[in-house]
Structure 1
Amino acid sequence: MTNTFTRTYTALPEHIDELGHVNNTVWVQWIQDMATAHWDSAARPQDRAAFFWVVVRHEIDYRGNIALGESVTATTWIEGPAQGAKSLRRVEFADAAGKRLVSAATTWAMIDRATGRLARVRPEVLEGFL
Structure 2
Amino acid sequence: MNPFERNFTASPDDIDELGHVNNAVWVRWIQDMATSHWQAVAAPEHIAAYFWVVTRHEIDYRGNIVAGESVTARTWIESAPKGAQFDRRVDFIDVNGKVIVRANTTWAMLDKATGRLARVRPEIAAPFMG
TM-score normalized by the length of structure 2 = 0.98
Structure 1 residue 4, shift from structure 2 partner = 1.2
CA distance in 1: counterparts of 2:28 and 2:10, whole angstroms? 13
Deviations 1:15-55, CA, capped at 9 Å, x for gaps: 00000000000000000000000000000111101100000
The aligned residue for residue 11 of structure 1 is 10
Asked whether the equivalents of residues 16 and 68 of structure 1 are also in contact (C-alpha less than 8 Å), the reply is yes
Asked whether the equivalents of residues 3 and 128 of structure 1 are also in contact (C-alpha less than 8 Å), the reply is no
CA distance in 1: counterparts of 2:96 and 2:24, whole angstroms? 24
Q: How does 1:102-113 map to 2 (within 5 A)?
A: 102-113=101-112
User: What amino acid is aligned across from residue 35 of structure 2 in structure 1?
Assistant: T
Give the secondary-structure state (helix, strand or coil) at the position aligned to 2:31: helix
The aligned residue for residue 121 of structure 1 is 120
User: What amino acid is aligned across from residue 58 of structure 1 in structure 2?
Assistant: H
CA distance in 2: counterparts of 1:70 and 1:6, whole angstroms? 17
The aligned residue for residue 23 of structure 1 is 22
User: What amino acid is aligned across from residue 115 of structure 1 in structure 2?
Assistant: T
The aligned residue for residue 34 of structure 2 is 35
Asked whether the equivalents of residues 94 and 100 of structure 1 are also in contact (C-alpha less than 8 Å), the reply is yes
CA distance in 2: counterparts of 1:45 and 1:11, whole angstroms? 31
The aligned residue for residue 48 of structure 2 is 49
Structure 1 residue 68, shift from structure 2 partner = 1.1
Deviations 1:49-102, CA, capped at 9 Å, x for gaps: 110000000000000000111110000011210000001000000100100100
CA distance in 1: counterparts of 2:10 and 2:125, whole angstroms? 31
TM-score normalized by the length of structure 1 = 0.98
Runs of at least 4 residues of structure 1 off by over 4 A?
none
CA distance in 1: counterparts of 2:128 and 2:85, whole angstroms? 14
Give the secondary-structure state (helix, strand or coil) at the position aligned to 1:40: helix
CA distance in 2: counterparts of 1:63 and 1:3, whole angstroms? 24
* Number of aligned residue pairs: 129
Structure 1 gap ranges (5+)? none
CA distance in 1: counterparts of 2:4 and 2:81, whole angstroms? 18
Structure 2 gap ranges (5+)? none
CA distance in 1: counterparts of 2:44 and 2:9, whole angstroms? 30
